[in-house]
């Protein structure tokens, strides 16, 4: 199998996969002897899609490589995406964790009520959050799967809200949360983006 044929196979794999593919997975698909060879092929695919007039792009993420719709066209086609597994309450709990992380489970339950226990179990089972034991509670953070699914929209909303409010989360240290904080414009912005994503998906069903 020549190099061009292997690149076509990698392109087809990215097109068919609903999730990012790791370099090891792609290397196996292309039947290459070297991961460096596969990485070079992926660089060529990325350059190919970035230089052509296409609504698609190939990107390298922390969790692997993915073919996806360019941001300019997402609003037109996002309703064709697969149904989400999360309802609005779960999405709000996830947004709360994503902005405040690392955050203790007890604080999440305090501000998201007792239903948060069910939310946290679902999010943990689906790989969106991870937990680390600390005393009588757990410290919660999001995972690479969260970045894969929400990374671009979450980051954009968070940055926009921070600029508008004249604050920055970079280099910040954990603080004691107040009731006012949970209703802040920043948290509302994050929740709005995540809920908007869910509503677009549900709207197409």
Q: What is the CATH number of the domain that holds 25?
A: 1.10.10.10
Tens digit of each residue's pLDDT (9 = 90 or more) over 141-170: 998 888 777 655 555 545 544 444 444 444
Selection from 102, 124, 177, 164 nearest residue 156 by Cα: 164
Boundary of a domain, candidates 69, 102, 119: 69
Question: Which of 19, 40, 69 is the last residue in one of the domains?
Answer: 69
**Is position 81 within any domain?**
no
What are the tens digits of pLDDT across the range 172-193?
333 333 444 434 444 454 555 5
- Check residue 10 and give its pLDDT: 97
Q: Rounded CA gap, 9 and 65, in Å?
A: 14
Of the residues 37, 69, 101, the one at which a domain ends: 69
| 197 and 131 part of one domain | yes
Same domain, 14 and 60: yes
80, part of any domain = no
Q: Is residue 75 part of a domain?
A: no
* 82 lies in some domain: no
Residue 160 belongs to domain spanning:
88-203
Shared domain check, 94 and 26: no
- The answer on 156 and 95 residing in a single domain is yes
Predicted pLDDT at 171: 41
pTM of the model: 0.50
Q: How many domains does the chain have?
A: 2
């Amino acid at each position: 199998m020549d190099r061009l044929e292997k690149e076509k196979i990698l392109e087809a794999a990215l097109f068919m996969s609903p999730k990012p593919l790791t370099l090891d997975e792609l290397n196996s698909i292309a039947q290459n002897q070297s991961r460096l060879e596969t990485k070079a092929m992926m660089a060529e695919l990325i350059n190919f899609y970035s230089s052509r007039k296409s609504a698609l792009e190939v990107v390298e993420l922390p969790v692997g490589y993915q073919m996806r719709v360019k941001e300019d066209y997402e609003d037109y086609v996002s309703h064709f995406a697969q149904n989400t597994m999360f309802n609005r309450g779960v999405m709000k709990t996830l947004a709360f964790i994503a902005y405040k992380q690392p955050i203790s489970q007890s604080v999440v339950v305090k501000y998201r009520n007792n239903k948060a226990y069910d939310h946290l179990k679902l999010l943990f089972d689906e790989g969106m959050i991870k937990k680390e034991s600390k005393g009588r509670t757990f410290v919660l953070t999001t995972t690479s799967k969260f970045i894969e699914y929400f990374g671009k929209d979450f980051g954009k909303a968070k940055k926009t809200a921070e600029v508008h409010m004249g604050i920055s989360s970079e280099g910040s240290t954990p603080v004691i949360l107040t009731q006012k904080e949970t209703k802040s414009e920043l948290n509302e912005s994050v929740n709005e983006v995540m809920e908007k994503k869910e509503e677009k998906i549900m709207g197409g069903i």
